[in-house]
Amino acid sequence: MIQCGDQFIAGRSGGVVGAVVPWRGGYAGVAPAHIFQAAGTMNLRLGGLSCRVAYIPDDADLAFFSIEGACRESPLARPCLGPAEIANSRHKLSCRICDTSWSVAYVVLPPGDLPGPGESGSPLIQEGRVVGMLLSLNMHTCKGTAISAEMIAGKIKDR
C-alpha cells in the first residue's frame, strides 16, 4: 500500500512521497517538482507501480502524480510552532518547526543526522498529520525548508 514517506525512483534520481491526497476521483502522490526537473523525466517508479506526473504548478515546487493502486490518504493539517518529525521509509528525525507561514514552514534539525540524498519530499508530521513536505536544507545551520500542507491543499483545489 502506497503512503506518505515511501520512496520512489525518477530517472537516475529519486525522492519521497510527501503526501497522498484525493485527486480527480482517485488519489495522487505529491513530491517536489525539482526532482523530476533535475532527472529530466516525468515518469517514476513507486513500489511496483509506474506513475507519471500529471501536474506541476507554476508557482510552487510541487508535482502531483496519479496513483493507480492501493494507497493510504494522508491527513493534512496546518503547521504549528513546536516539535515535529520528518519521517520516511529510511528513518525518522525529530525536529522543531521554528517559523511558519501559509506556504512555508522552517524546521531546525538535529546536527549530525541530517536528511541525505534521495530524502527530498519527506513528510513533516505533527500529531499524526502531514503539515509539510521537506524541500531543502542548509547543512551549515541545520535548518530545513518545507512547503506547508496549506499550500499543497490549495494546489489541489486549483485543479
State percent of the chain over pLDDT 70.
99
Q: Which CATH class is domain 7-67?
A: mainly beta
Q: Rounded to two decimals, what is the model's pTM?
A: 0.93
User: Which is the CATH superfamily of the domain at 82-158?
Assistant: Trypsin-like serine proteases (2.40.10.10)
Query: So what's the pLDDT on residue 80?
Result: 97
Measure the CA–CA gap between 156 and 46, rounded to whole angstroms: 21
Decide whether 7-67 matches 82-158 in CATH topology.
yes
Question: Domain limits of the chain?
Answer: 7-67, 82-158
Q: What is the mean pLDDT of residues 51-74?
A: 95
Q: What is the pLDDT of residues 40-56, one digit of tens each?
A: 999 999 988 999 999 99
